Amino acid sequence: MTNGNSRRRNKADVTPLIEDGGLFARPPIEIEVELVPRIGKNGRGDIVIKGYVSANAVVDVVIAGRRKEQARPLLSSLQTLWSNANRGLSSHVEPPDAEQVRLSARVVGSWRPYYQVDDQGWQTHEFQLLAARWTFSPKPGVTQTFGEPPLF
Protein backbone atom coordinates (compact mmCIF):
# COMPACT_ATOMS: atom_id res chain seq x y z
CA MET A 1 0.00 0.00 0.00
CA THR A 2 2.82 2.46 0.69
CA ASN A 3 5.92 3.06 -1.32
CA GLY A 4 9.23 2.32 0.40
CA ASN A 5 9.78 4.08 3.71
CA SER A 6 7.18 6.73 2.98
CA ARG A 7 3.78 6.85 4.64
CA ARG A 8 2.25 7.93 1.35
CA ARG A 9 0.26 5.53 -0.80
CA ASN A 10 1.33 4.49 -4.27
CA LYS A 11 -0.30 6.74 -6.87
CA ALA A 12 -2.10 3.75 -8.37
CA ASP A 13 -3.82 3.10 -5.02
CA VAL A 14 -5.14 6.66 -4.61
CA THR A 15 -8.76 6.99 -5.70
CA PRO A 16 -10.44 10.41 -6.01
CA LEU A 17 -12.31 9.69 -2.75
CA ILE A 18 -9.07 8.90 -0.88
CA GLU A 19 -7.32 11.93 -2.41
CA ASP A 20 -10.09 14.33 -1.42
CA GLY A 21 -10.32 12.79 2.05
CA GLY A 22 -6.69 13.74 2.58
CA LEU A 23 -6.93 17.18 1.02
CA PHE A 24 -10.23 18.47 2.32
CA ALA A 25 -10.33 17.61 6.00
CA ARG A 26 -12.42 20.70 6.81
CA PRO A 27 -15.81 21.56 5.33
CA PRO A 28 -15.56 23.42 2.02
CA ILE A 29 -16.30 27.12 1.78
CA GLU A 30 -16.78 29.47 -1.16
CA ILE A 31 -14.69 32.64 -1.10
CA GLU A 32 -13.63 35.46 -3.41
CA VAL A 33 -9.84 35.60 -3.91
CA GLU A 34 -7.76 38.04 -5.95
CA LEU A 35 -4.92 36.00 -7.42
CA VAL A 36 -1.61 37.58 -8.37
CA PRO A 37 0.96 36.29 -10.88
CA ARG A 38 3.18 34.79 -8.16
CA ILE A 39 3.06 31.08 -8.90
CA GLY A 40 5.18 28.31 -7.43
CA LYS A 41 5.16 24.71 -6.31
CA ASN A 42 5.47 23.15 -2.89
CA GLY A 43 7.52 20.08 -1.94
CA ARG A 44 4.75 17.77 -3.16
CA GLY A 45 4.58 19.41 -6.58
CA ASP A 46 1.26 21.13 -5.90
CA ILE A 47 0.60 24.49 -7.56
CA VAL A 48 0.72 27.41 -5.13
CA ILE A 49 -0.67 30.79 -6.19
CA LYS A 50 -0.45 33.88 -4.02
CA GLY A 51 -3.74 35.64 -3.46
CA TYR A 52 -5.64 38.12 -1.33
CA VAL A 53 -8.91 37.40 0.47
CA SER A 54 -9.25 41.07 1.40
CA ALA A 55 -7.22 44.15 0.58
CA ASN A 56 -4.23 43.04 2.69
CA ALA A 57 -4.93 39.47 3.88
CA VAL A 58 -2.50 37.26 1.95
CA VAL A 59 -3.23 33.59 1.37
CA ASP A 60 -1.59 30.77 -0.55
CA VAL A 61 -4.10 29.03 -2.82
CA VAL A 62 -3.04 25.42 -3.36
CA ILE A 63 -4.19 23.30 -6.28
CA ALA A 64 -3.27 19.68 -5.63
CA GLY A 65 -3.69 16.18 -6.96
CA ARG A 66 -5.78 15.48 -10.02
CA ARG A 67 -6.90 19.10 -10.20
CA LYS A 68 -3.41 20.34 -11.17
CA GLU A 69 -4.03 19.50 -14.83
CA GLN A 70 -7.23 21.55 -14.74
CA ALA A 71 -5.28 24.60 -13.53
CA ARG A 72 -3.62 25.25 -16.89
CA PRO A 73 -6.22 27.81 -18.11
CA LEU A 74 -5.97 29.68 -14.80
CA LEU A 75 -2.17 29.75 -14.94
CA SER A 76 -2.31 30.85 -18.57
CA SER A 77 -4.71 33.69 -17.68
CA LEU A 78 -2.41 34.87 -14.88
CA GLN A 79 0.59 34.79 -17.23
CA THR A 80 -1.36 36.71 -19.91
CA LEU A 81 -2.46 39.27 -17.32
CA TRP A 82 1.18 39.76 -16.28
CA SER A 83 2.37 40.00 -19.89
CA ASN A 84 -0.31 42.60 -20.69
CA ALA A 85 0.68 44.64 -17.63
CA ASN A 86 4.26 44.75 -18.93
CA ARG A 87 3.50 45.15 -22.65
CA GLY A 88 4.82 48.27 -24.28
CA LEU A 89 6.82 49.51 -21.30
CA SER A 90 10.01 51.29 -22.24
CA SER A 91 13.25 50.50 -20.48
CA HIS A 92 12.91 53.80 -18.58
CA VAL A 93 9.67 52.77 -16.88
CA GLU A 94 9.50 50.73 -13.70
CA PRO A 95 7.74 47.39 -14.24
CA PRO A 96 4.41 47.03 -12.43
CA ASP A 97 4.27 45.57 -8.95
CA ALA A 98 3.06 41.96 -9.34
CA GLU A 99 1.04 42.38 -6.13
CA GLN A 100 -1.13 44.95 -7.93
CA VAL A 101 -1.83 42.77 -10.99
CA ARG A 102 -4.84 40.75 -9.84
CA LEU A 103 -7.31 38.26 -11.26
CA SER A 104 -10.56 37.81 -9.32
CA ALA A 105 -11.59 34.22 -8.75
CA ARG A 106 -14.33 32.48 -6.81
CA VAL A 107 -12.79 29.49 -5.02
CA VAL A 108 -14.51 26.54 -3.40
CA GLY A 109 -12.10 24.83 -1.06
CA SER A 110 -10.98 24.14 2.48
CA TRP A 111 -8.64 25.90 4.86
CA ARG A 112 -5.59 23.85 5.88
CA PRO A 113 -3.26 24.83 8.72
CA TYR A 114 0.33 25.34 7.64
CA TYR A 115 3.17 25.36 10.14
CA GLN A 116 6.62 26.71 9.49
CA VAL A 117 9.66 27.63 11.59
CA ASP A 118 11.04 31.12 11.02
CA ASP A 119 14.71 32.18 11.03
CA GLN A 120 14.66 32.67 14.80
CA GLY A 121 13.21 29.23 15.52
CA TRP A 122 9.64 30.37 16.20
CA GLN A 123 6.88 28.27 14.76
CA THR A 124 4.38 30.24 12.71
CA HIS A 125 0.86 29.08 12.03
CA GLU A 126 -0.88 30.15 8.85
CA PHE A 127 -3.65 28.80 6.70
CA GLN A 128 -3.61 27.77 3.06
CA LEU A 129 -6.70 27.56 0.90
CA LEU A 130 -6.91 24.19 -0.85
CA ALA A 131 -8.87 24.78 -4.04
CA ALA A 132 -11.37 22.18 -5.23
CA ARG A 133 -13.15 24.39 -7.80
CA TRP A 134 -12.44 27.86 -9.11
CA THR A 135 -14.30 30.25 -11.36
CA PHE A 136 -12.74 33.23 -13.10
CA SER A 137 -13.11 35.44 -16.17
CA PRO A 138 -10.13 35.14 -18.53
CA LYS A 139 -11.61 37.99 -20.61
CA PRO A 140 -14.62 40.27 -20.23
CA GLY A 141 -17.92 38.46 -20.71
CA VAL A 142 -16.39 34.99 -20.41
CA THR A 143 -16.61 32.97 -17.20
CA GLN A 144 -14.94 29.58 -16.78
CA THR A 145 -15.12 27.03 -13.96
CA PHE A 146 -12.55 24.30 -13.37
CA GLY A 147 -11.87 21.68 -10.73
CA GLU A 148 -14.55 19.59 -9.10
CA PRO A 149 -16.40 19.53 -5.78
CA PRO A 150 -14.66 17.58 -3.03
CA LEU A 151 -15.76 13.98 -2.60
CA PHE A 152 -16.68 12.82 0.89
pLDDT tens for the chain, 152 residues: list them.
445 556 777 877 889 999 999 999 889 999 999 999 999 999 989 999 999 998 789 999 999 999 999 999 999 999 999 999 988 777 777 888 999 999 999 999 999 988 888 899 999 888 899 999 999 999 899 999 999 999 98
Q: CATH assignment of 11-87+95-147?
A: 2.40.50.140
121 conformational bin, left if phi > 0, alpha if psi -120 to 50, beta if neither: left
Domain boundaries, the chain: 11-87+95-147
* DSSP states along 65-133: GGGTGGGHHHHHHHHHHHHHHHTT--TTSPPPPGGG--EEEEEEEEEEEEEEE-TTS-EEEEEEEEEEE
Question: What residue type is assigned to position 49 of the chain?
Answer: I
Beta bridge partners of 127: 113
Distance from C-alpha of 10 to C-alpha of 65, rounded to nearest angstrom: 13
Distance CA 130, CA 144 (A): 19
**DSSP run (H or E) holding 59:** strand 58-63
